[in-house]
Chain A
Amino acid sequence: MSASVHRKHSLRRLKLPPNPKVRIGIAIFVFFALLALLGPFVVQNVMGLSPSDVDTAQAMELPSAEHLLGTTATGEDVFAQLVVGSRISLLVGLVAGVITTTLSVLVGVAGGYLGGRADSFLTAATNVCLVIPGMPLLIIVASYVQGRGGWLTVALVIGLTAWPWGARQKRAQTLSLRHRDFVSAAEMTGESRWGVITRELIPSLAPIISVSFLGAVVGSMFADAGLSFMGLGNINITSWGSMLYWAQNAGALTRGAWWWFVPPGACIALIGVAAGLINFGIDEISNPRLRKPSKEVRARARAARLHAAAGGSAAKATAGKPAPVQEAAS
């Protein structure tokens, strides 16, 4: 990610970038956000489906017109569970993502800006927390909590353990901003250190913060699904993770009931892919060399190679090749 985030451009940069990868990624996020917001209402009140109605006469049924995604071992409608479950899964991701991002911004930006002893302390704390593996810690804490407090506790625990990666990244970005003119100018006008951090640095880091927020949301959803899959967390509330848990518990795998565990995992995976697309697209925006050269450039490079081959000069062939470099200069 580029360090050249100028303050004036920070807000403009938050607008939808023209990169197709970023746009597809954001579209997927918007789709799931709408699904979580409106879906349960549509499914329960308009279509009249229930995620929890047990009907043993219709257990383990293949997808059909009546049950779009089939039924579970106790005859619950998988499609209804999928839509209703999106709300909890997204909510856990959102809340944990907010906690993670807030902590990482506070620790990373403060460390990077203040420097000196405060920075040494915060950096050391970040690095130490970074190397302690997160999942086992989560599992331990979650199993002591034993579902008390429901999804909020799970979100809290995830949020409190996931911040070090982001803090490290934001510190590095802050270091590159610390001596820019606009920061010095703010200091000259007597802005307090807290003021510089909240009014100057954090707005300048907004694009990076928003991207890492998306990453944190997705990471938290993965962690939540993993915890629920182990039977920790909120297995009695319908969520994608709890669906996976019950599917595994009822032997859906060995019975070949793919319609039960493929959809919730696919939704989580799709959100993961969306985050990957955005991350990748942002990298391309900040480093044009990573982009696949445009058709025009490739055609020009091919023409140059052909020309060189016809001329029989090896030196020309290599000189004509690195077309992406030209693009980067623009």
Chain B
Amino acid sequence: MTVPALGSVDATAVELRPGRRLRSARLGTARYFLRRLGFYAVAAALAVTLNFLIPRLMPGDPASALIAQMQQKQTLSGDQVHAIYRLFGTPGEPLWDQYVTYLNQVLHFNFGISVAYYPTPVWEVIRTGLPWTVGLVGLTSVLSFVLGTAAGVVSGSRVGSRFDSFMTPASMFMGSLPFFWVALILVLVFGVQLSWLPTSGGYDGDMLPGFNGPFLASVLQHGILPALTMVMASVGGWLVGMRNMMVTTVSEDYVLLARAKGLSKARVMFQYAARNAVLPSVAGFALTIGTVVSGQLLVEIVFAYPGVGYLLYQAVSSVDYPLMQALFLIVSLSVLAANFIADSVYGLIDPRARETRS
């Protein structure tokens, strides 16, 4: 997955509607949020529907494959067989009826029983993985955004400086590497060769999870390498995007004026230039969430980190269709929710965004 050059893509995304009367600001804000909410509702509906259609459109018969798989472990009762067929669509039942049944199940978080973790319900399995992934994604994406953007400000305010000539190529290089391979290298260097850090799991296996010092320390220790991978892979994109916007902004008249007023360099750099240059990056933040989550799924597999990515891996390797289906749905909906939040924040800080078409 390539990290797109943020500056170049999103600068063009802002199209002002000419010849349109400015409505009162508050009304505009409300309309903006409603429009975004509508958009994400459509996206969520598509995700739910895709999740319904994919197993039914696929060649072959996943239900039979699943039954064969499960019968290796235990004999299935007629009820269980019936439940599996219902999950993938009862043959003969109209598609619409199946869809209604499916929606009803989704609304009640009823995703069936997991094969890989038999007989735990799928939702129970997912619930154990969700906090790990959300924690890691949230922490690392905010961290790399802040670090990358700050470095981009410094880099972009003086193109060709020593900092810039090192950081820009370096971060561009880092950003062009596949996430999961970087993870493999880190495991090799810090885990196997130097044995400084643990290379798998989310905490020490002989510990009981709970809110106490040793456990949290263990969680932190196990999180360092996965977090480092995520930050290394995504910090460069923010740096380059911010740098490129910054370069354009520092030559604007208001920055020149601020400088002429004799304000300190740091103040001009951060309060005048960076404040405006950061807007495309913030707008782009929402769109990168999906990419980051996608990358993290693979990174979790390398580290056997107990999040949804590792669960997905387990589900794939044991042909656990119910778990797989539900994971896709949950990941998609979480990404959409995160997108909506990021979009709303952007709408709050940039009034112009509220006047644009979605």
Contacts and interface: CB of A to CB of B under 8 A. Distances in A.
A262 interface: yes
A129 B49 CA distance: 13
Contact of B2 (A219, A261, A290, A324): A219
B159 A324 contact: yes
A280 B240 contact: yes
Contacts of A261: 181, 184
B178 interface: yes
A133 B301 contact: no
Contacts of B244: 283, 287, 290
A22 to B, nearest CB: 13
Contacts of A232: 316
B277 to A, nearest CB: 13
B332 interface: yes
A132 B290 contact: yes
A226 B2 CA distance: 13
B260 interface: yes
Interface string A137-149: 1011101111010
Interface string B242-277: 011001101100000001101000000000000000
Contacts of A130: 287, 290
Interface stretch (B21-29, B55-63, B107-115, B145-153): B55-63
Using C-beta atoms within 8 Å of the partner chain, give the interface range for chain A. 35 or more
Contacts of A124: 39, 42, 358
Interface string A192-226: 00000000000000000000000100110011011
B349 interface: no
A172 B176 contact: no
A63 interface: no
Contacts of A218: 2
Given A172-B12, A269-B178, A293-B160, A136 B316 contact: no
Contact of A322 (B15, B165, B175, B250): B250
Contacts of A143: 316, 319, 324
B295 A140 contact: no
Interface residues of B, number: 78
Interface of A: 1, 3, 124, 127-137, 139-141, 143-146, 148, 165, 168-169, 172-173, 175-176, 215, 218-219, 222-223, 225-226, 229-232, 244, 248, 253-254, 256, 258, 261-262, 265, 268-269, 272-273, 275-277, 279-280, 283, 287, 289-293, 298, 314-315, 318, 322, 324-325
Interface of B: 1-2, 4-5, 8-9, 12-13, 15, 39-40, 42-43, 46-47, 50, 54-55, 58-60, 62, 159-160, 164-165, 172-173, 175-178, 180-181, 184-185, 187-188, 191-193, 199, 240, 243-244, 247-248, 250-251, 259-260, 262, 286-287, 290-291, 293-295, 297-298, 301-302, 312-313, 316-317, 319, 324-325, 327-328, 331-332, 335-336, 339, 358
9 contacts: A124-B358, A127-B43, A131-B40, A135-B297, A137-B332, A244-B184, A248-B302, A262-B188, A291-B159
By Cβ-Cβ distance, the 9 closest A-B pairs, closest first, are A135-B294, A265-B181, A276-B176, A172-B12, A272-B176, A133-B290, A144-B58, A292-B160, A273-B176
